[in-house]
Each structure stands twice: as structure tokens, then as C-alpha cells.
Amino acid sequence: MHDATEVVPGAGPGHSALLLVGEQPGAQEDRESRTIEEIIGPPTDAGEEDCCSWVRDAPAGYFVAMTKIGYFLSCEEYAPAELLEQARLAEEAGFDGLWISDHFHPWTSQQGQSAFVWSIIGALSQMCDLPVTTAVTCPILRQHPALVAQAAATSAVLLGEGRFRLGVGTGEALNEHVLGDTWPEADVRLEMLEEAVELIRALWSGDAVSHRGRHYRVQNARIWTRPASPPEILVSAFGPKAVELAARIGDGYVTTSPDRDLLASFRKNAPAGATTQAGFKVAWAPTAEEGIDHAHRIWPNAGLPGELAQVLPTVEHFEQASQLVTRAATADSVSAGADPAVHLAAFDPFLQAGFDEIYVANMGPHYAEMIRGFGRDVLPALRARSKDAAAQTGP
């Protein structure tokens, strides 16, 4: 196998880690059988500033990509002041961007928060320069697509040109049934999302819009405060039908799963250059055992299988169902403790799958230590690996 990476002079910082090293056709199975460290080698003493970017003119038969590493703000777990502190720390630590969740309720009472996302984004715009993606907003029931269009347009103006992306999805009953609407089945929710995205894009044109669709109506609606260019819309998807919709209507794809088949399906059917994002959580603590305890106490719902996360309507139902999730199951699924190598390894499935951007959240009270620890050890290790690969390999 012959790997090839090209350095783009003057590209500057902003892309953090090597996703895929360019390879000759037919080498996919060899690559997929190895860890990311086996692909790109151990960390080196290279500096933190990254000089590489997407390489779209690589030699025939090669694919070269870099990924951005962002921080995930969990509105369900942290109070507004803590979210703003995390954003400030993430920027200081060298993260490349922010995800932010959009919930009406937390999943469990131990999480205990659920700030209004649009207020938090407004505050972020005044104290942080990192780009922000909602992960994700549901524009089909609780928030009418016309109001989402206005909120997102204002957020894009506040954050600055190109620094806001609207992540959307079909949501969960936990958040979306609160106005008394019937919770639709999955196929109907996808149909509603498609119409909602169509309406949001129409409103971002700046024209007066009257729309009488199957699910939504607006009359003489016009959004006056808009960015110069409309934000990208990234679509959350966890199954084949949703991925097909994301590729057809979205500018990108959002998920928390490193599923390679779904990612490949999206890339096959999406426009060239569509952004792919993924996210996961870690539990930073002085010891792995303490981190596992925090994860199991606060986020046991992360271990629930299938469609339960979409259909359970209350916090109490999630807490009842989460009793089936054992501490051992949590321990097997979470990166915990303060060992940078353990947290670095948690990126492997997402890096090997080939996502453009990866976002990581903390679970528990040690978020400041986690962010600083990532900035000190994890992010530089990822960047050093990619720079080493760029310096030592070639066609």
C-alpha cells in the first residue's frame, strides 16, 4: 500500500487531524482493518499549528482529507454560565468549532438543565469566535419552521459570515410533544422535515413567502435580518431512509454513530463537498472509575437501544428505561478517566470512517479539566500525527 498526502502551503490552522491518508484503489480493506495509529503512525514533536487542508487535486486514485475537532455543548447537562465558560475554554484550548444541543427537556433529572438554544447562541456570539452548529434543531412541531428560519438567520448574523450552520432532525417525543401535538410515526416526521427545510430555504431568500403545504402554512412571511449567504443546513440521520433524505435535501450530514455504511451512502448520493459531522461523549475524571460513575449516573439513557430515544415522552420514562442499562454496559461504551491515550483512541472509529468534523462532549463536573487536557495532550497528538504523515509520505 502506498499512502500519499499533500501539504497545502499557507492553508493555516483550522484542520486538526488526518481522516484518511490517500491510498491507491483496492487498498480499502487493508486500511479498514487497522487502527488510526497504524495508518498514520505515532505522535511526533510537530507543532500544534496545522498546515494542511482538504486536498482536492491529489493525484488520480488518491483521497486526502483532514478533519476538524470541535467541542460539543450539552444544554441538557450544564447551566448557561457553564456552557459559556466551556465555549471560552474550548476556544483557548484550540478546538475548531462548537456543536450545541437543542432540547426542551433533559433526558434525565440528573442532567437537570435545558436552556433555550437560541439565547445561548446569541451569548456565544459576543464572547467566542468559534463556528457553531446546532446538533440538532427539530423544526417540525415545537418550533415552527418559519420561526427556526428567523432564529437561524439572526444567529448567523450575530456569529458572523460563515460561522453558523443549522443542524436539523426529526427530533424526539421527549421535546416535541410538549405543545400537545400527536407524535407522528417516523415516515411522517421525515416528510415534515423535508417540507420544513424547503420552507426555511424559501424564507432565507428574503422574499415574501406564502406557503400552503401538507404540514405547514405561512402567509406574507418575510425575514429581514439575514446573513449575506444563507447558512448550510445539515441533516441528522441514523437509518437508511433518513440518510437518503439528508443526501437529497441537506448540505451535510450529522450523526453520533461511526457507521461506515450510512456515511458511504450519504457521500454516494450527496452533492460533492457536503459536510459530514459526528459527535460523541467522554467522561473526564481523576480516575476511570469516577468517570464511569458520572457517565452512568448522568447519561444512562445513552445506552438505550433502538428507537426508544425517539418515542419515550417524559424524563420519568427515560429514567425507568435506563434502569435496564448496567454500569458495566456504560463502562464498555464510554471513554473515561484522565489518560489522554484512552481519549485519543475514542476518536478511532470516527476517524477511520472518514468524517470531516468530529465533536466531543464531556459528561460530569470535570469539564474544565477535560477541555484543558484535550488542548494540552489530545488535540496536539492528533495534529502531530497528521503533520508527520504529511511530511513523511508522498505519491
Question: Is the model's pLDDT at 237 over the cut of 50?
Answer: yes
Q: What is the pTM of this model?
A: 0.85
Domain presence at residue 44: no
**What's the pLDDT at 104?**
98
**What confidence tier does 393 reach under pLDDT thresholds 50, 70, 90?**
very low
**What value does the mean pLDDT take over residues 105-112?**
98
Q: Give me the catalytic one of 103, 294, 296, 343.
A: 103
Q: Any catalytic annotation for residue 103?
A: yes
Task: Select the more confidently predicted residue: 312 or 65.
Answer: 312
**What confidence tier does 66 reach under pLDDT thresholds 50, 70, 90?**
confident
**What's the pLDDT at 171?**
97
Residue-wise burial string across 125-157, b where 16 or more C-beta atoms lie within 10 A, e elsewhere: beebebbbbbbbbbbbbbbbbbebbbbbbbbbe
Q: Any catalytic annotation for residue 172?
A: yes
Q: Give me the catalytic one of 6, 77, 91, 172.
A: 172
Q: Alpha helix (H) ranges present in the chain?
A: 28-32, 36-40, 80-93, 117-125, 145-159, 173-176, 186-204, 240-249, 260-269, 288-298, 308-311, 315-322, 327-333, 340-345, 348-353, 367-373, 379-392
Domain presence at residue 54: no
Domain presence at residue 170: yes
**What value does the mean pLDDT take over residues 290-319?**
97
CATH of the domain at 340: 3.20.20.30
Per-residue pLDDT of 169-196, as tens digits, reads: 999 999 999 999 999 999 999 999 999 9
**What confidence tier does 392 reach under pLDDT thresholds 50, 70, 90?**
low
Per-residue pLDDT of 123-147, as tens digits, reads: 999 999 999 999 999 999 999 999 9
Domain presence at residue 3: no
Domain presence at residue 391: no
Residue range(s) defining the domain that contains residue 325:
68-369
Per-residue pLDDT of 264-279, as tens digits, reads: 999 999 999 999 999 9
The total domain count for the chain is 1
Domain presence at residue 244: yes
**What's the pLDDT at 9?**
28
Q: For residue 73, list its beta bridge partners.
A: 100
Domain presence at residue 22: no
**What confidence tier does 2 reach under pLDDT thresholds 50, 70, 90?**
very low
Q: Which amino acid, one-letter code, is at 330?
A: T
